[in-house]
Chains A and B, each alone.
Chain A
Amino acid sequence: MRNIQEDLAPFAKRVRLARGWRGIAQGASAGAAICIVWATLDAFRLVMAEWQWLGITFAVCALAGLICGFVIPVSSKALTKSIDRRAALKDRLTTATERTGESGVFDEALQADASEALREVSPKKAFPLRFTRLHGGSLALGALAAMIFMLGNSPLLMSPGQRKERDEVHAMGEAVERVAKEQFQKPDSKQDLTPEEKRLAGDMMKLARELERARIPKEQALQKQNELAQKANDLAKQAEGQARVDLANAQTAEDQLAAAASVANMSESEKTQMASQLSKAMTDLQNRMSQLQKEQAKAREALNKSNLSQAGREALQRQLSQLSQQGKGLSSQMQALQQKMKTLQLSKEAMDVFRKLVNDPLYKQILELQRKLQGSMKQGANGKMSALSDEELKELQRKLEALAKRLNDPEEMKKFLQAMLDAAKHAKQMGRGNGAGLGLGLGSGMGESGPQGGASAGGGPSYGPGAPTQDIWAGDTQHVNKLDKPVENRGTTHAESITGEQRPGDGSEPYVEIKAPTFVGTRSSVPYQRVMPSYKRRAESALERQQIPKKHEKRVKEYFDSLTGAGGK
């Protein structure tokens, strides 16, 4: 005699299946109810709903119902009772399972009878998978949710004005999506995207979806678009700033390369003469530094005296501050001198490498690309699209790598190449940001206000007081590296107009004069002679207005004379 429990196993499986089937209907009903609420809120513009998410909600709830129905265990007692009812077994199974193991007069016969009766029952017939009213109800609820959703999104129920606005917002959505795809979803640019850019791209796609569904008012759409355009511009500015730093680094490295190369071209006597001058200048600087420290000590001593008046104390504190600033200036000049001296002490092999480097046609091509990149960034700063295309940026990267392989990788060269690569990368980012900003600005300009409408005021690339000015970039093209000017660590060579205004305070001003061959940069494409007269005139004008201290007037004059002399050579 077979065990009844074994015979019950297929029924238990069938019950799970049937429960799952019923669970689908229950879950779907719950999902449909959620969808109805969601779609209704969507129709009243309170929340945003998308048909995909409505469908997913419906399906997920139905699936959850299926899983719950399938997973919930089936008790043997309930199963036997249910089979007894459904198959009209007249409580045979219930009694038999309860009496399992008993040895009454009828127990054996009862077990056999129940088994026999159970074998004649088909699990499929006992627990059929019927399309019940619950299933029909869930489908009806789902259809109702879909209907509410479609009616809420249908232009049929809108006035002509609403329809027009809807079409406009829809068009804005398409424009935003196009910009986002062009700027951020190209296969090659996807890898380069920063987290901020990815976030911006996500926000743009989200906005595009909302706009394409035309579920938000036009004013709100414009506001959101402006916010994103502002974000894009901020990103572009950030990238631009980083690119500027990278280019400045490249500039510094290039300056050092050029300096090394020019040293390599010197004769031994010139090198000796220059070394002597540098040594003398260093000694002079050290003396001035020593004197400055003594002055600082004296000022501190005077400040510690208790009989000082308030005015006297403040004057002393001002003097101390000025002395400290002078000390910093001297310190940086000493560092620059040390760098020059180090360059002079390079080995012959290193000199050969530098000489070879500056004469390398690939290096010259890279310099050309660097200038183009600078120009491109200047255009970007002015709100125009980058002049350097992606292909050109790739070309720059490829050439940089090729040059790195060909040369013997001096440290300065590595720095230069890395800085250029970073600059190229940030230029790309700037381009994307500018592109997005421009695209969103253009998109937000659609509508009643026209292409240059109110949205472009906030959404277009508008730069504030902190934005880079053209002067900065103009200064780069007229860069002249003089030994008497401290070479800044980051290589920034900002040109400053000489206005002749006197500095406040009456402290001494450090000035070091070095007689040495001038290092002329190779980067400027503007002829030196063309700008020189203008600068000289402005300097002379300042001298005439007596806005330059008397004792420095001669030096200014000599400076421009020396430049003219260098240019004449």
Chain B
Amino acid sequence: MTENTEATWFRDKFDAIRAEIQKAIVGQHEIVENVLICLAANGHVLLEGMPGLGKTLLVRTLASAVSVDFGRIQFTPDLMPADVTGTNVLSEGRVFEFRKGPIFANILLADEINRATPKTQSALLEAMQERCVTVGGKRHVLEEPFLVMATQNPIEQEGTYPLPEAQLDRFFFKVLVPYPTKEELAEVVMRTTGSTEAAPSAVASREDVMKMRSIVREVPIAQAVLDYALSIVVACHPEGETASPAARRFCNFGPSPRGAQSLITAGKVHALLAGRFNVAKEDIRKAVKPALRHRILLNFEADAEGMSADRVLEETIAAVDTSDRDPIKV
């Protein structure tokens, strides 16, 4: 098999971080991989799952494994933007000085993000997109890498504020955290009820993360694969000429261009993880659901028929695959 130093290094580093995380997190391989993809692709991740599935632990463990600054904000309805970004306080020297909020970290855990008011949620918008915050008219740049890992649970909707589309669109991936299997649960119980507790060690530095990000961007993608990814994105737009039947029926709005960017970048990481030096359609397909499921807005008919975003995406992929034929018929 052909080898490349950069690719090998990337894969090794990725596997090392994953291995450290797996020390604390039982199972959930896909979730871990997707979170790490977001780390490598310079994207934020929204974890959605029932309480107690290890979302917070996952993020914390990741911060430990990567050896970067970790910040955590527990979102509540009375949380104010300044509690997130930081504020100017009058110091002893009678001078206003900026006291950084928890957002000034390399990895920020925004726990139960949907419990905060939209005003507070919006405090994250600039930080997530621009990698900076503006307080008191002064712009404060966040240190790279900056990764927001938000969690929310799909139940207990009373007293919550669903994230607005603009906010959702800033998340690179939306990862659904499933219940562990029986075997995984047994392992979790064994690990957490014993006398010893796993302590992940740091296996990657901040520079390593930055290097991983630069490597990802170098992965080439063929025009045909790019067309395929864009076809999927466009097919999710219900008003488009090439909209898939499912999107036309169940979607109000399709993904933004950020969705296409996420798709391609995630595809590149998948390619490297698969030991290839090019993005394949297979990589794109793997990335479709986490990259686009929070970027399409379903209509009432979808709700009425119990249609999920993931099913709409599956049908859209199938429709695009059907039209993507072998150019040589023999």
Binding stretch for chain B, among A106-114, A229-237, A334-342, A440-448: A106-114
* Complex CA distance for A422 and B279, rounded to whole angstroms: 90
Given contacts A106-B219, A109-B277, contact A90 B282 (CB under 8 A): yes
| Contact in complex: A113, B327 (CB < 8 Å) | no
With both chains docked as a complex, state the minimum distance between the C-beta of B14 and any C-beta of chain A, in angstroms.
16
Cβ-defined contact, A91 with B7, below 8 A? no
- Cβ of B322: which chain A residues have Cβ within 8 Å of it? none
- Say yes or no: B326 contacts A110, CB within 8 Å: no
| Given A113-B2, A113-B276, A116-B2: A79 touches B328 (CB 8 Å cut-off) | yes
Cβ of B4 < 8 Å from any Cβ of A? yes
Are A90 and B328 interface neighbours, CB within 8 A? no
B327 to A, closest residue via Cβ = A78
A244 within 8 A of B: no
* Dominant secondary structure at the A interface: helix
Q: Tell me whether A96 and B2 are in contact (CB under 8 A).
A: no
- Min CB distance A76 to B, Å, is 11
B1-53 interface with A by 8 A CB criterion = 1-4, 6-7
Instruction: State which of A81-89, A503-511, A529-537 sits at the interface with chain B.
Output: A81-89
- Decide if B279 touches A91 in the complex (CB within 8 Å): yes
B271: nearest chain-A partner, CB-CB: A90
Binary A-proximity of B205-247 (CB < 8 A = 1, otherwise 0): 0000000000100111111110000000000000000000000
**B278 & A82 in contact (Cβ 8 Å cutoff):** no
Instruction: Verify B330–A19 contact, CB threshold 8 A.
Output: yes
With A90-B280, A106-B219, A106-B220 as contacts: A22 and B330 at CB distance below 8 Å: yes
Digitize B263-288: 1 where CB-to-A-CB distance is under 8 Å, 0 elsewhere.
00000000000101111111000000
**What is the interface size of chain A, counting residues whose CB is below 8 A from a CB of the partner?**
34
Could you tell me the distance between the alpha carbons of A74 and B225 in the complex, rounded to whole angstroms?
21
Once A92-B278, A113-B276 are accepted as A-B contacts, the answer to whether A74 and B223 lie under 8 Å apart by CB is no
Query: Which B residues form the contact surface with A (CB < 8 A)?
Result: 1-4, 6-7, 215, 218-225, 274, 276-282, 326-330
* Interface pairs (23), CB distance under 8 Å: A15-B330, A19-B330, A74-B328, A77-B327, A78-B328, A85-B326, A90-B276, A90-B281, A91-B280, A94-B222, A95-B279, A98-B222, A99-B222, A105-B6, A105-B215, A106-B218, A106-B219, A109-B2, A109-B7, A109-B277, A113-B276, A116-B1, A127-B328
Q: Which residues of A contact B3 (CB under 8 A)?
A: 109
- Tell me the minimal C-beta distance from A192 to chain B in angstroms: 57
A81 touches B327 (CB 8 A): yes
Query: What 10 pairs across the A-B complex have the smallest Cβ distances?
Result: A18-B330, A95-B278, A90-B280, A78-B327, A109-B4, A95-B222, A106-B277, A82-B328, A105-B218, A110-B277
Docked complex: A42-87 residues within 8 A CB-CB of B: 74-75, 77-79, 81-82, 85-86
A residues in contact with B4, CB < 8 Å: 105-106, 108-109
Give bound CA distance, A230 to B127, whole Å: 107
Q: When chains A and B are docked, how far (Å) is the Cα of A96 from the Cα of B4?
A: 15
Cβ-defined contact, A94 with B220, below 8 A: no
- CB distance A91 to B222 under 8 Å? yes
In the complex, what distance in Å separates the CA atom of A98 from the CA atom of B225? Answer: 12
How many Å lie between the Cα of A393 and that of B118 in the bound state?
122
A416 interface residue (CB < 8 Å to B):
no
Given A81-B327, A91-B222, A106-B218, 12 other A-B residues pairs in contact with their CB atoms under 8 A: A15-B328, A75-B327, A77-B327, A78-B328, A90-B281, A91-B225, A94-B225, A95-B222, A98-B220, A106-B220, A109-B277, A113-B278
What residues on A are CB-neighbors of B279 within 8 Å? Answer: 91, 95
If A106-B6, A109-B4, A110-B278 touch, whether A21 touches B330 (CB-CB below 8 Å) is yes
From known contacts A18-B330, A90-B282, A110-B278, infer whether A95 and B220 are also in contact, taking CB-CB under 8 Å: yes
CB distance from B228 to the nearest CB of A (A): 9
Note all chain B residues with C-beta closer than 8 A to A95. Answer: 220-222, 225, 278-279
Q: How far is the CB of A566 from chain B (nearest CB, A)?
A: 100
Question: B131: shortest Cβ distance to chain A, in Å?
Answer: 24
Tell me what chain B mostly uses at the interface: helix, strand, loop, or mixed.
loop
Query: Counting chain B CB atoms within 10 Å of each CB, which of A21, A79, A109 scores highest?
Result: A109
Q: Is the CB of A127 within 8 A of B330?
A: yes
A107 contacts which chain B residues (CB < 8 A)?
Answer: 220, 277
A 366-402 to B, binary, CB cutoff 8 A, 1 in contact else 0:
0000000000000000000000000000000000000
Q: A82 and B221: CB pair below 8 A?
A: no
How far is A86 from B282 in the complex, measured between Cα atoms in Å? 14
Which parts of A116-143 form the interface with B (CB within 8 Å)?
116, 127
Asked whether any CB of chain B lies closer than 8 Å to the CB of A527, the reply is: no
Instruction: State in angstroms the CA–CA spacing of A108 and B7 once bound together.
Output: 12
Complex Cα spacing A111 to B329, Å? 26
Residue of A nearest to B328 (CB): A82
Given contacts A110-B277, A112-B2, whether A82 and B222 have CB atoms under 8 Å apart is: no
Residues of B within 8 A of A82 (CB): 326-328
Specify which chain B residues have a CB less than 8 angstroms from the CB of A74 in the assembled complex: 328
Q: Is A464 engaged at the interface, CB distance under 8 Å to the other chain?
A: no
Contact partner of B220 among A22, A75, A102, CB < 8 A? A102
A90 to chain B, nearest CB (A): 4
Is A187 part of the binding interface, using a Cβ–Cβ cutoff of 8 Å? no
Q: Write out the residue numbers on chain A whose beta carbons fall within 8 Å of the beta carbon of B282.
A: 90
Q: Which of B219, B222, B224, B327 counts the most chain A CB atoms within 10 A?
A: B222
Task: Enumerate chain B residues within 8 angstroms of A19, measured Cβ to Cβ.
Answer: 328, 330
Q: Nearest Cβ in chain A — how far from B183, in angstroms?
A: 31
Q: In the complex, which residues of chain A have a beta carbon less than 8 angstroms from the beta carbon of B329?
A: 22
Using a CB-CB cutoff of 8 Å, which residues 184-202 of chain A contact chain B? Answer: none
Chain A residues near B2 (CB-CB < 8 A): 109, 112-113, 116
Q: A225 to chain B: closest CB distance in Å?
A: 54
Q: Which residues of B contact A102 (CB under 8 A)?
A: 220
**Complex Cα distance A85/B2, Å?**
21
The 0/1 profile, CB within 8 Å of B marked 1, for residues 228-251 of chain A is 000000000000000000000000
Q: How far is the CB of B327 from chain A (nearest CB, A)?
A: 4
